[in-house]
Structure 1
């Protein structure tokens, strides 16, 4: 059997950067999540440059017409929200103007990003990605009162637990058949820790794992195809591929003409809102992710702040973007204030380091010992390629 490739210190930095990026971009956008009216965003917050708490009233909230018993719109007679998940939040859904993330603190993460932390912790605990283990951890997290502080849960969570509460086995609880809102960027938020856990095994393994994870919660062939492209981009950036080159390749794979968007004399918000679209649908949101990643390839901070201030589905779009630019720059290229300002920064740091140590133990030990010795040398010169 060929020796496993050595993961370089630079690659470890890029893995850390990708994971931090998921949480940073989400938390920056949380207070203005689903602000489609940019004038109101600017009225409420000006231009966001750091972490903020949400306002008490959300000007575009549709929770009052969203189903608490399953996916999509509907009434609030269902008790999936309140009794099964998002405990104690049911009464907040039936009232107009309630913020999706009411009561959350500045720098706090929304539910999907918290599920990425669930995936990260599970991988660290078991030293590998496992679909069965993730389902076990996901169900436990979502059904445990007090496990998180978010008010809103996306359709796919509500559908999953509607099925689960009816006795359907977890592996068969994914959200319905392909529909207009099934192929949503929200499904990408949990992918980075799974993709990066396959860094030694190769791109095919990373893509297979990403598609498998999505299938647990989203029955969407379209979303799976986009996930393969996204997985390749994150994977190759973690390996050190030049960012703009990698992003251009991903754009070509999904038929996005980045040059056309860059030729417009528009600001970022206008491109996201009017050229590609700021909604959750993957056909709108993924081109916006690629555009922002490409235009701001030289600055992690500029990319994630441009995403936040563009409004719309900026939390989940932001997490997908944050992993890309985080992998491109590494944790060392992220401003410390954005890491330290996260509400749960210390816990997240611990989880990321446990993930690194579990998946790349020799490299982590070498890094700890001096930061320059290769893992192969630390292991007695076992050889293998280097990432």
Structure 2
């Protein structure tokens, strides 16, 4: 197991394990719930395309009302024409059978077309694989060996034809494999060495790749916190930060990632999520508490789960950060965590119906809400768990490894 065992009681260990389990379920449920309306920036489109607000796991439509998939670079980060890479990685290195959807002349292809209801998006699939690797390992999650094992598995998964059925891979995947394709390292040591060299070069560059400063950095980092739940908080934060430096080498990310990792670690260990969210929103890194106050107060005027209250939350997320950029997305995430600290079900549904970058924001929010639910005598709804197509087997494997270990 990739973490260090401190001296904790058996009772506390059981509580933390339950929190880790519900965090995994929450991460996967929130991602799958949002998948059909991922990047719906006009919430009216959600109601129109799904005959009302999303209240359960649904499949996406083939087309998307505001898709810019056709504008995305197939050769690297960002938009078409923005990458210096000559060869396309989409169709050649990753997403081997999906290039035709990126170049479809209709220019309205859904990012996750073809996925069934209850399926997870690529980033959460990668997170589940990282958690499986970590739970089966034998050193601390902040050890280089853990990062080497996770990244080697990531390379094998992403480059193996038919390993998943998602259509979209965001900029960090395309950038990573644009650089990887020259030497194509595969062993854990080789992949880690490549990733560390690449990270150092990109972090020292005169101009950072702004596409990497995105909330999509969180899903693969979440398992490093979950599997460090019994370690001290700084070990958990360090483990998450060191991984993200390799997948998302952007200088602005460390304080934002550390903020989330601390909140998740504390929540896994029984801390009040409402207080953790307020602390994050008040932090210098976000400084969003004052902006949240009018929305918090307005939402309280309406009944819970009412459409009027949902509209307030939609306005809040639009104001705080609807897109993928990390600071705004984290502000929205912690606003929703504060508002739904004791209601994992409505928190996940509201995140979905706020639209925008709701999958990666949702995965990170769902982990927090799930972890807290375990201490409130609540859980992610069982019918959602039963309908998650990609998560059930990996989570069962992870929990089996946890139950067989002497830690978390």
- Normalised TM-score (structure 2): 0.84
Superposed displacement of residue 127, structure 1: 3.8
1:10-37 C-alpha deviation (Å, 9 max, x unpaired)? 2111111111111110000000001112
**Residues 246 and 164 (structure 1), Cα distance of their counterparts in 2 relative to 1, 3 Å cut:** same
2:78 is matched with which residue: 72, 78, 90?
72
The answer on whether the counterparts of 1:124 and 1:354 sit within 8 Å (CA) in structure 2 is no
- Where do residues 239-258 of structure 1 align in structure 2 (5 Å cutoff)? 239-253=269-283, 254-257=286-289, 258=292
State whether structure 2 residue 22 is matched by structure 1 residue 17: yes
The answer on whether the counterparts of 1:120 and 1:352 sit within 8 Å (CA) in structure 2 is yes
2:338 aligns to what? 294
2:329 aligns to what? 285
Provide the secondary structure at the position in 2 that maps to 1:48: coil
| Counterparts of 1:263 and 1:271, CA distance in 2 | 11
Superposed displacement of residue 156, structure 1: 0.4
Superposed displacement of residue 115, structure 1: 0.6
| Counterparts of 2:5 and 2:154, CA distance in 1 | 35
1:89 aligns to what? 98
1:380 aligns to what? none
2:348 aligns to what? 304
Provide the secondary structure at the position in 1 that maps to 2:73: coil
| Counterparts of 2:316 and 2:294, CA distance in 1 | 11
**Residues 106 and 176 (structure 1), Cα distance of their counterparts in 2 relative to 1, 3 Å cut:** farther
1:39-87 C-alpha deviation (Å, 9 max, x unpaired)? 1111001210111001011111111111101010005984201111111
- Where do residues 147-226 of structure 1 align in structure 2 (5 Å cutoff)? 147-167=163-183, 169-173=194-198, 176=202, 178-226=208-256
RMSD across aligned positions (CA) = 2.2
Superposed displacement of residue 171, structure 1: 3.3
2:315 aligns to what? 270
Superposed displacement of residue 354, structure 1: 3.1
Q: How many residues align?
A: 361
Q: Which runs of 5+ in 1 are unaligned?
A: 365-387
| Counterparts of 2:369 and 2:56, CA distance in 1 | 17
The answer on whether the counterparts of 1:28 and 1:50 sit within 8 Å (CA) in structure 2 is yes
The answer on whether the counterparts of 2:77 and 2:174 sit within 8 Å (CA) in structure 1 is yes
The answer on whether the counterparts of 2:6 and 2:231 sit within 8 Å (CA) in structure 1 is no
The answer on whether the counterparts of 1:28 and 1:308 sit within 8 Å (CA) in structure 2 is yes
| Counterparts of 1:243 and 1:159, CA distance in 2 | 35
| Counterparts of 2:295 and 2:235, CA distance in 1 | 33
The answer on whether the counterparts of 2:172 and 2:211 sit within 8 Å (CA) in structure 1 is no
1:110 is matched with which residue: 113, 117, 121?
121
| Counterparts of 1:2 and 1:338, CA distance in 2 | 32
Runs of 4+ in 1 over 6 A off after TM superposition: none
| Counterparts of 2:331 and 2:80, CA distance in 1 | 30
State whether structure 2 residue 387 is matched by structure 1 residue 353: no
1:231-287 C-alpha deviation (Å, 9 max, x unpaired)? 1100000110112112111222231214343134661111111x2121000121001
The answer on whether the counterparts of 1:19 and 1:192 sit within 8 Å (CA) in structure 2 is no
| Counterparts of 2:90 and 2:222, CA distance in 1 | 27
Provide the secondary structure at the position in 1 that maps to 2:238: helix
| Counterparts of 1:70 and 1:173, CA distance in 2 | 14
